[in-house]
Structure 1
Amino acid sequence: MTDILDKVGCYKFLAEPFHCDFSKHLFMGHLGNHMLNAADFHSNERGYGMSYLNPIHKTWVLSRLAIEMTEMPISYDEFNIETWVDGVMKFFTSRNFTVVSPDSNKIYGYGKSIWAMIDTDTRQPVDILAIHDGLILDYVDKERQCPIAKSSRVKMSADAKLVRTIDTNYSDVDVNGHINSVKYIEHILDLWNLDWYVHNKIKRFEIAYVAECHCGDKLNFYCEHTSEDEYCIRITKSFKINAEEVEVVRSKVNFVKD
């Protein structure tokens, strides 16, 4: 048995210039991708990551993600993502993130996430506590705080408007064989044009993954302006053989005037 590592992992990242938008701030999608990488590094180092799970036909999938930022890293900024697990149940685990400068003098923001483990053959949930006799429990840190709110239930009315339909293609598909979690974030944020982002910045982003999508599915985006600074989005998929729509994602975006 390997030695028990620290419960909190810390990983270095760089706001690469071509991962930044017109304002030289890191794209939210790339920040989300860095958080997912930090989660992968953390779990692999501790023995319950995808490098162990994939050969036994299991994998982690993201269920919910909330990101709340005070400030976004700008081009060439170095920053750390600290991550830790703060709760484990049979089929789900919760993981937090802090985005911080290398000297810890500046906290850019935080993230909260929920993950599930699935069997890659059946696509059904797997008992997380059965992996290495519940090894993940040794890494639960309930003391360290993440001050942002948990993901909320995104409520939308029947008045939500269909604002876009897109095809899914090769570059939308990830290592798990389904549409990449971060690609949904990018597609959602593309619902607002460049001029909108000149005058508004993202304060908080939430996304909940309801069902899997695969290459070739059409994605339909419904949007509703639910309060002064809040928009809710529902994504459905359409099947090739009929017009039936199935909900796959719900999201909420809060903006603040820049």
Structure 2
Amino acid sequence: MDLLSKIGSYNFLVEPFHCDFSNHIFIGHLGNHLLNAADFHSNERGYGMDYLNSVHKTWVLSRFVIEMNEMPVAYERITVDTWVENVMKFFTSRNFAILGSNGNALGYGRSIWAMIDTRTRQPVDILQERDGLITRYIESEEPCPIAPFQRVKVAKDAEIHQTIATHYSDVDVNGHINSVKYIEHILDMWPLSWFKTYRLQRIDIAYVAESYFGDTLHFAVEQRSDEEYDIMVLKSSDNGTEKKEVCRCKLKFVKK
């Protein structure tokens, strides 16, 4: 079988209704563009969701980092480059470059994925799928000049700043709360006035467990500095008051 290029390039239009009051794309919509690029790239090369769903498997996002020097604006045409940096038995790392209309680097992303069996929800050996096809697409030389995922530590007794119910529009094709929805809910804790002064420069998010329609999400926040915050998201269900950790997130803002 002839191999495609190791790096895939995908073009997106920044639609105006995907932008905030400042005319810049919402980080959630940008995150979706990155995840779509990952989906396109893996499907075209034979180890994506199209194939995996036929054998009762899927990819799940474990870690996600986006760091932006500049956010795209409405009607701008951007390109997302993506490539697999490394593959291990149960995890694979995938990087992203977000390029502006003139080819300048607006920012970068990093992600770590696991493959699971959709019936058991247990991890699958990635190297055994299609005779390790994904390993033929490893690109370890392409630079991704942002720091790897930063560990997030939030005390179990940290103050809960927000509690929300989950709804229909939070649920994705895998049947659980969409990974980008957590980011949107987290950013909604800050008022509009905050975003008139600050922009989000970097977000690190680690997904610990899945949550589902009907769960209640609780957001605990610890402030590290004027511009840096750590957040832990927990879930509870109707049949109990116990809170279980779902994800952890680090936000770094910068003044505009």
Distance 2:101 2:112 in 1: 26
Alignment pair present for 1:40 and 2:39: yes
Match of 1:123 in 2: 121
Deviation at 1:155, TM superposition (A): 1.2
Match of 1:193 in 2: 191
Deviation at 1:242, TM superposition (A): 1.2
Deviation at 1:152, TM superposition (A): 1.3
Match of 1:218 in 2: 216
RMSD (Å), alpha carbons: 0.9
Match of 1:113 among 111, 114, 139: 111
Match of 1:60 in 2: 59
TM-score, normalised via structure 1 length: 0.98
In the alignment, residue 173 of structure 2 is paired with which amino acid?
A: V
Please show how residues 179-258 of structure 1 align to structure 2 within 5 Å.
179-258=177-256
In the alignment, residue 8 of structure 1 is paired with which amino acid?
A: I
Distance 1:103 1:158 in 2: 46
Please show how residues 115-194 of structure 1 align to structure 2 within 5 Å.
115-158=113-156, 160-194=158-192
Show CA shifts across 1:101-127 (max 9, x none). 2442x1110000000101101000011
TM-score, normalised via structure 2 length: 0.98
Secondary structure in structure 2 of the residue aligned to 1:215: coil
Aligned residues of 1:68 and 1:109 also touching (Cα < 8 A): yes
Distance 1:150 1:66 in 2: 8
Size of the aligned set, in residue pairs, is: 256
In the alignment, residue 43 of structure 2 is paired with which amino acid?
A: N
Distance 1:90 1:127 in 2: 5
**How high is the sequence identity, in percent, across the aligned residues?**
61
Aligned residues of 1:91 and 1:125 also touching (Cα < 8 A): yes
* Structure 1 residue runs of 4 or more that deviate by more than 4 Å after TM superposition: none
Deviation at 1:227, TM superposition (A): 2.1
Deviation at 1:228, TM superposition (A): 2.9
Show CA shifts across 1:151-190 (max 9, x none). 1110123562100110011110000000001101100111
Show CA shifts across 1:184-222 (max 9, x none). 110011110100000100010111100000000000000
Match of 1:28 in 2: 27
Match of 1:91 in 2: 90
Distance 1:60 1:101 in 2: 28
Any gaps of 5 or more consecutive residues in structure 2?
Answer: none
In the alignment, residue 191 of structure 1 is paired with which amino acid?
A: M
Aligned residues of 2:176 and 2:213 also touching (Cα < 8 A): yes
Aligned residues of 1:159 and 1:224 also touching (Cα < 8 A): no
Secondary structure in structure 2 of the residue aligned to 1:171: helix
Distance 1:99 1:85 in 2: 15
